[in-house]
Structure 1
Amino acid sequence: MIKITSRSFVFTSMALAITAALDVAAQPMLEEVIVTATKREASMQDVPIAISMMNGEKIMEQGIQSLEELAIFMPNVHIAEGGAGDQLFIRGVGSGINYGFEQSVGTFIDGVYFGRGQASRSTFLDIERVEVLKGPQSTLFGKNTVAGAINITTRRPTDEFEGVVEATLEPEFDGWSTTLTLSGPLNDNFGARLVLKQEETDGYMSNTFTGDDERTVENTVGRLVLAWTPSDSLDVTLKYETGETKARGRQDVVSIATDFAVGRYQAADPNFSAGFGYDKSSKNIGGVRPDTDVHDSEWNIVTLTAEWLVGEHSIKSITGYVDYEFSNYLDSDYGPLAFLGRGRDEKHEQFTQEFLLSSPTGGTIEYLAGLYYQSEELEHERYTDAVLSAAGIGTGSLDASGLGNFEQDAETLSAFTQLTWHISDSFRAIGGLRYSADEKEMTKDAFVTDLFTDTPNNQLAGIYDQVLNFSTDHFMGPDGATVCEGVAYVCTDYPDFDNERTESHWTGDVTLQWDATDEIMTYFKVGNGYKAGGFDEANGRGLIDAQEYGDETVLSYELGAKLDLLDGRARMTFAAFQSEFEDLQVSAFDGNAGFIVGNAAESEVKGLEVDGMLAITDELTFMASLAYLDASYTSFEDAACNEPQVQEFIAAGGARADCLQDLSGEALQFSPEWSAHIGLDYATQLGSNMELRMGLDAMYSDAYEVANDLDPAVAQGSFSKINARIALLSLEDTWSVAVLGKNLTDEATTTWGNDVPLAGQGFSETYFQHIDAPRSYELQVRYRF
């Protein structure tokens, strides 16, 4: 097995490719890359923003099905499923695990904002390009973009009729997919595009206890796009998408377990052993509940975009409606013991409306002005089943369920403008300003019931609160809050509790942009942003003071340059950045059953990013990205302890709930010091009617922290991964056949890990981890008609 354990191959490969290029006499040219990062179509080399971009063709070639699979190709970007939610991080900044959180990285699809983490799980369908904008993007994209924004553009109807059938086969995981695309004009001013996709996989985990492969996934999704151009001055596009996902099992494993925990697990499965690999032993509660992990979701998206040309100005309207719901039931003890499971039903509806006025370009002054409105309704129904007797805790009298509900209504209204002043032909100043007002209102309750029922049991509730430190009955709403504590079940009213939150922010940025030559553009940008505060959905103990968390703010500086070199054969971009965050929103597992949500005092993120592309010949292209990152807390004195620290604290006479650690100066999650991607694409004609294409991609990451409490037990070490592809296609592109190899170095890596719950009941210093896919191969076939 090839094992690459250092970043030396990145620099060596860069040097060899560049050296080889110096001896080549041909003069190939790179194609211009168009992006919409500034709300206008523009060359990526002219946009004063650090951007990583992947087009739809590359996404198809690499078999990328989601944002999570895309992220590994982009240094300083981490997108992955967590234990109780989804995580999007750019430059070490993102949102922790909490279903109440919105993301620090805003996702926008055809101009419509998707603030929930669930959006990162949606399967890719007919993508034109994905732009990852790094650093705060609050002026043009609004709230919840303090770390950056993901700007996804899907394909429109074509001017000529085309039909495409695509199919993939992954034999190792019994995975396959089929996609049908029909696109073209219906008459002189009306076009349509229909895309249908079905995919399935049996997953790469082997559950030795149940005999099942995990995680099996079935995705079905369809999209219809209608484009109407009644005149040269009006363009209207209507998009409707619907889909559903059904998943069984999960890619998690009990990686570390104490002898005591192993003994308990082996009571159910005598062959159980802990370890970081692709064999697992787990079973959910079963009976009236599923006996395996389940996560089903379905969604509907409607987007209406209209653009009018009024003289030399344009007015654009983007109307979006999104509704999705999912249901899940997850094995929360992560092993073969059928004793702890958690389920949730979430529903989310969102309506957005944006108006954008754009001035003509080319004058001394250019401007954009916009209005934005968003309303959303969020509902959670959750339940936790604790069959403690299955783990040897009690004889059944302590078995119970915990039910909870969380509802939140939110509205955002904002206005923004951006002006560009062309001070000279080579120097311009860009200034943006945005005002935003946010309102949120929530209700929340949680109570302990008899097992698998909705019948409250106050006696059990008192034990779960005071003895097991598991949950506390409570209600929070418009008339105040009530919390019932202790074995005596004493209820305390808090009539002054406020279930509403309002906040307003002025955000903006100033950019100085200088074209040093026709081939070199430089810029300096300073800007701020915010991530809205909110209410803690995961507050299972009913902590009044911790129910609401504050807004998160950032002040950022970026110095960059974009260069066109060697007469169009090469391009490079540089970005040096520093961002200072205050009141960073964090969520850390308490080691027992819940998460602690709050605002860390301060953090600082700084680093350097370099991207480049070189057309070595007409047939061979080299690409590289390299990132250095220094992301740390500058002040975080009251962070939650990790489990080894808790045990030391308890041994010294302290109580678990009182243990705190000082993370000042420590690294943020998902912030490797060095990360890189290099790629080679080769294409050559074979005979008179065929073409051979080959591609190689290598990805490297330094070690990084995974858990928010920085528990070293689940940290990810440095790693390298290599993908390779070889394809044969017709010169007319009517057909193609390709073989793709993923993770050819067969690296086993983790995207998430944390403590197994109920540390105080014998599972202390026992951990689970999510594990990425091993080496795999995929056959790809495409036919165009």
Structure 2
Amino acid sequence: MTGKTALALALSTSLASIVQPAFASEDRAATETGTSLDIVVTATRREQKLQDVPIAVTAISAEQFVASNYKDPSELQYLSPSVQVSSSGGAGFNVRGVGTNSFNAATEQTVGLVVDGIVYGFVNDLGADMSDVSRVEILRGPQGTQFGKNASAGVINITTERPSTDRTYSVLHASYGSYDDTNASYRVNVPVTDTLAVMGVASYQNRDGWAWNPVRQENAGDRDQVGLKGKLKWAPTVDFDIFASVDYRRSYSSPAFLSSYRRLGIGSGTVPPGFGILDYGIEPGPNNTETGLASDSYQINRVGGGTFEANYHFGNYTLTALTGYRMLGRDAFATLGSTPITAAEGPVRVRSDQFSQELRLSSSGGQFIDFTSGLYYYHRSSKEVSMFAGDFGGLAELLHGPGALLSFSGGRDYLSYSVDSIAGFIDGTVNVSDDLKLILGGRLTRDKASSSLYTVEVEGVYPLTGMVSGPGSAKTANTDFSWRAGLQYNFTPNVMAYFTAARGYKGPLAIAVAGSSARIVDPETVKSLEAGIKTTWLNGNLLFNLTAFREKFRNFQTSVPDTTLLPPGFALGNAGGMKTQGIEVEFSVKPTPGLTLIANGTYQDAKYTDFLSACYSEYEPIQPPVTDDPNVVGACYTVPGTGLSYIQAKGSPAPNASKWNLALAASFEQPIGEDLAVDATANYTYRSDFYTNGVDPNTRVDGRGIVNVNLGVGAQDDTWRVGVFARNLFDKYYVSGIELGGFDEGSLVNVLDLEARRTLGVVLDTRF
């Protein structure tokens, strides 16, 4: 899934509750208390004012999503300067320049995605139905002491709207724009009794592609999604309540991976450079938006599950039992890049199940010791079946007869993975005085992981030499203690400073690589230092926050280019070390009741401190220097007597990590007469250049700045609103990444982004 530049409201910590039409959430009090910029979050698993929480957290309200026509969590990168999304090598969140991107189903994300308290552990799936979102909290830095499994770089914590017994109501949102860009959702809340309420949610999203495919004579890049949810809330007494939900979502994209040729390589054997794209008039280059894909490539995800939460309140404490089940079915037909050659293509099928159980005890706050503690269990299993086959210039038929195909993984590969994790945790604050607080937290985790791989021969499919995957398996286990400690001091009721040190952890992995073997990926750890100051001025109408951070990772789990695979691709491995450090600034002011101005920015310097990576191709425009000294940094070294070569990438930038990120926004609302109001929002987001593969200078992606606007008129009581919007107003073209082409050595491809074209549209919201 590629990142999208939708209407970037670019509102971070200071703007979770700006004046916007309130069609997204019935309970606005959950995010607004007191003043217009006063925000309540649950970053510590207890409700607290955001300005009082000693954590770098960005709060994003439901109103922002609705007004901007955002569709899925991947677009959170346009709401917080510290969040980015990788779109090559597998989709994944990056926080402060750190994230994991991998297609391997055994992978765990470095930035956790949590929805209604449940960890979403499936790799390469950042999707979730956001049509009923209540609020989003982006917690930056290690969060493993509280938030489930593997949060060594941060957590995306999403809370959806819950049923209410107050009254019956319905909410409808519908928008339509360029390229059939459609976003529609409907939800209805029904009180059944004074203590029981139910809610139903339905949604539909669509986006047609604009990349032209002259081989198939059609546009490429279509996306669509449908979703259903059912929810129940029962509170028979003031001390006991239950929340339950079930959901199902189906998403479709074609092709499975949208790309275009940026540069021709040297070809392969009898196959010319570009595999025949020149025959269709395709001109490779940075601005090439034509794909030469001949196959019917697609990806279908079917995702669903259920959540059950029971809360018992007694005295100053709450006991919570939280059970979650998730499933994913992925059917895809992958192919060789964006070429007319039907080689290295075939079906991929993934089936995954996940179960988690958490038992949590929390204090209500305001005591000498405020805490959250609990036990956590997590299990995830996946099975994958894949087969990549094809032919180059009739070689298979020449060797094996008519109809024969070459296999690039030895036949049909069967891969399976399993992860089990159990943990105990406690995190809290010791209120030494009204102004001085001691922060302490710890988590003891035991992880187990296993994988297996075997290949079945397929009639008529013949493997290349050395490509048969023999039966193999791998197992690993590890016990680790992660912690957090710090101090918080309130200089005044409106000025708070804090300092924390933390150790984060991400468990080991046992992965299987088709066409290769089963292997172990070591656990990842991080030591983090963070200092911040949060200030409130002008009776809550001006906020200014400043955060400095430094994080050092050991055995960082990352996608490593593996040229031994056919076609060449990525396999998950370890970098010896990685470091990120920087400063985050958040500023918002409400000079008049109807006007809000925002300026948020992040400087982050994320780079490897130790990483033996594969050398990039000598046929690329920028060629790697060569050395006979294994200690030289930045040069390709070949081990004498072997074909093994590597490059020490110390000092190379982390992938997908822009150093400078800026978000500016202005929002205005003005009543017209007694019943109507007009609103307008203008936003600018900027991201400096970055590298898809930090080791390879040929994968440098230019920075970009995007402007978005939104205008509307509606009822002052929020019963209806109509508006117009423009995403990417000035039609700024950009690519999401630059990758190496498969087989065509020295070639480069553009990873295309559907939001790299202007989208104009209209929107309607009603509440009744």
Q: Under TM normalisation by the shorter chain, which class is it? A: 0.7 to 0.9
Q: Contact (CA 8 Å) 1:539, 1:595: kept in 2 or not?
A: no
Seen in structure 2, the aligned counterparts of structure 1 residues 406 and 563 have a Cα distance that, compared at 3 Å, is: same
Q: Name which of structure 1's ranges 55-64 and 748-757 shifts more when overlaid on structure 2.
A: 748-757
What code does the residue aligned with 1:686 have? I
Give per-residue Cα distances to partners, 1:233-265, cap 9 Å, x unaligned: 011111111121122224321222247587553
Seen in structure 2, the aligned counterparts of structure 1 residues 518 and 693 have a Cα distance that, compared at 3 Å, is: same
What displacement does 1:73 show?
A: 2.7
**In the alignment, which residue of structure 2 is the partner of 1:109?**
115
Q: Does 1:386 align with 2:361?
A: no
**In the alignment, which residue of structure 2 is the partner of 1:320?**
324
Alignment partners' CA distance in 2, 1:268 and 1:464: 30
Alignment partners' CA distance in 2, 1:375 and 1:735: 44
Q: Contact (CA 8 Å) 2:637, 2:645: kept in 1 or not?
A: no
List aligned pairs for 1:690-709, cutoff 5 A. Answer: 690-708=676-694
**SS state at 1:182 partner:** strand
Q: Does 1:688 align with 2:674?
A: yes
Aligned counterpart in structure 1 of residue 242 of structure 2, from 236, 246, 259: 236
Seen in structure 2, the aligned counterparts of structure 1 residues 640 and 348 have a Cα distance that, compared at 3 Å, is: same
**SS state at 2:592 partner:** coil
**In the alignment, which residue of structure 2 is the partner of 1:95?**
100
**In the alignment, which residue of structure 1 is the partner of 2:37?**
31
**In the alignment, which residue of structure 2 is the partner of 1:735?**
720
What displacement does 1:643 show?
A: 1.6
**In the alignment, which residue of structure 1 is the partner of 2:601?**
626
Give per-residue Cα distances to partners, 1:395-432, cap 9 Å, x unaligned: 77683233211112221110011232111110010100
Q: Name which of structure 1's ranges 565-574 and 507-516 shifts more when overlaid on structure 2.
A: 565-574
Alignment partners' CA distance in 2, 1:383 and 1:221: 30
What displacement does 1:224 show?
A: 1.0
Aligned counterpart in structure 2 of residue 574 of structure 1, from 546, 555, 566: 546
Give per-residue Cα distances to partners, 1:323-374, cap 9 Å, x unaligned: 1111111222322222231431111111111111112421212222101011
Identity %: 23
**In the alignment, which residue of structure 2 is the partner of 1:464?**
465
**In the alignment, which residue of structure 2 is the partner of 1:476?**
472
What displacement does 1:110 show?
A: 0.3
* Structure 1 runs not aligned, ≥5 long: 1-9, 15-27, 285-290, 454-459, 466-470, 478-498
Count of residue pairs the alignment pairs up: 710
Q: Name which of structure 1's ranges 655-664 and 379-388 shifts more when overlaid on structure 2.
A: 655-664
Q: Does 1:711 align with 2:696?
A: yes
Give the structure with the higher percent helix: 1
Q: Does 1:442 align with 2:443?
A: no
Alignment partners' CA distance in 2, 1:581 and 1:625: 26
Q: Contact (CA 8 Å) 1:277, 1:771: kept in 2 or not?
A: no
Seen in structure 2, the aligned counterparts of structure 1 residues 445 and 605 have a Cα distance that, compared at 3 Å, is: same
Give per-residue Cα distances to partners, 1:457-503, cap 9 Å, x unaligned: xxx43x432xxxxx3422113xxxxxxxxxxxxxxxxxxxxx22111
**In the alignment, which residue of structure 2 is the partner of 1:501?**
476
**SS state at 1:777 partner:** strand
What code does the residue aligned with 1:356 have? R
**In the alignment, which residue of structure 2 is the partner of 1:784?**
767
Q: Contact (CA 8 Å) 1:649, 1:659: kept in 2 or not?
A: no
Seen in structure 2, the aligned counterparts of structure 1 residues 126 and 262 have a Cα distance that, compared at 3 Å, is: farther
Q: Contact (CA 8 Å) 1:79, 1:120: kept in 2 or not?
A: no
What displacement does 1:113 show?
A: 0.6
Aligned counterpart in structure 2 of residue 214 of structure 1, from 216, 220, 228: 220
Q: Name which of structure 1's ranges 331-340 and 125-134 shifts more when overlaid on structure 2.
A: 331-340
**In the alignment, which residue of structure 2 is the partner of 1:758?**
743
Alignment partners' CA distance in 2, 1:609 and 1:571: 14
Seen in structure 2, the aligned counterparts of structure 1 residues 209 and 527 have a Cα distance that, compared at 3 Å, is: same
**SS state at 2:470 partner:** strand
Alignment partners' CA distance in 2, 1:39 and 1:535: 31
**In the alignment, which residue of structure 1 is the partner of 2:171?**
164
Q: Contact (CA 8 Å) 1:76, 1:671: kept in 2 or not?
A: no
**SS state at 1:357 partner:** strand
Seen in structure 2, the aligned counterparts of structure 1 residues 35 and 622 have a Cα distance that, compared at 3 Å, is: same
**In the alignment, which residue of structure 1 is the partner of 2:357?**
353
**In the alignment, which residue of structure 2 is the partner of 1:138?**
144
Seen in structure 2, the aligned counterparts of structure 1 residues 426 and 403 have a Cα distance that, compared at 3 Å, is: same
What displacement does 1:661 show?
A: 0.9
**SS state at 1:69 partner:** helix
Alignment partners' CA distance in 2, 1:503 and 1:387: 44
What displacement does 1:142 show?
A: 3.9
Seen in structure 2, the aligned counterparts of structure 1 residues 259 and 52 have a Cα distance that, compared at 3 Å, is: same
Q: Contact (CA 8 Å) 2:380, 2:420: kept in 1 or not?
A: yes
What displacement does 1:615 show?
A: 0.4
- Could you state the TM-score of these two structures normalised by the residue count of structure 1? 0.86
CA RMSD of aligned residues (A): 2.5
Alignment partners' CA distance in 1, 2:637 and 2:601: 48
**In the alignment, which residue of structure 2 is the partner of 1:254?**
261
Q: Name which of structure 1's ranges 648-657 and 336-345 shifts more when overlaid on structure 2.
A: 648-657
**SS state at 1:695 partner:** strand
Aligned counterpart in structure 1 of residue 614 of structure 2, from 640, 650, 654: 640
Aligned counterpart in structure 2 of residue 294 of structure 1, from 291, 298, 310: 298
**In the alignment, which residue of structure 2 is the partner of 1:413?**
422
Seen in structure 2, the aligned counterparts of structure 1 residues 394 and 702 have a Cα distance that, compared at 3 Å, is: farther
Seen in structure 2, the aligned counterparts of structure 1 residues 653 and 65 have a Cα distance that, compared at 3 Å, is: closer
What code does the residue aligned with 2:763 have? Q
Aligned counterpart in structure 2 of residue 68 of structure 1, from 74, 92, 117: 74
Q: Contact (CA 8 Å) 1:209, 1:280: kept in 2 or not?
A: no
Q: Does 1:724 align with 2:709?
A: yes
Seen in structure 2, the aligned counterparts of structure 1 residues 362 and 209 have a Cα distance that, compared at 3 Å, is: same
Q: Contact (CA 8 Å) 1:400, 1:449: kept in 2 or not?
A: no
**In the alignment, which residue of structure 2 is the partner of 1:423?**
432
**SS state at 1:340 partner:** coil
Q: Contact (CA 8 Å) 1:190, 1:227: kept in 2 or not?
A: yes
**SS state at 2:51 partner:** helix
Alignment partners' CA distance in 1, 2:416 and 2:655: 29
- Could you state the TM-score of these two structures normalised by the residue count of structure 2? 0.88
Q: Contact (CA 8 Å) 2:664, 2:685: kept in 1 or not?
A: yes
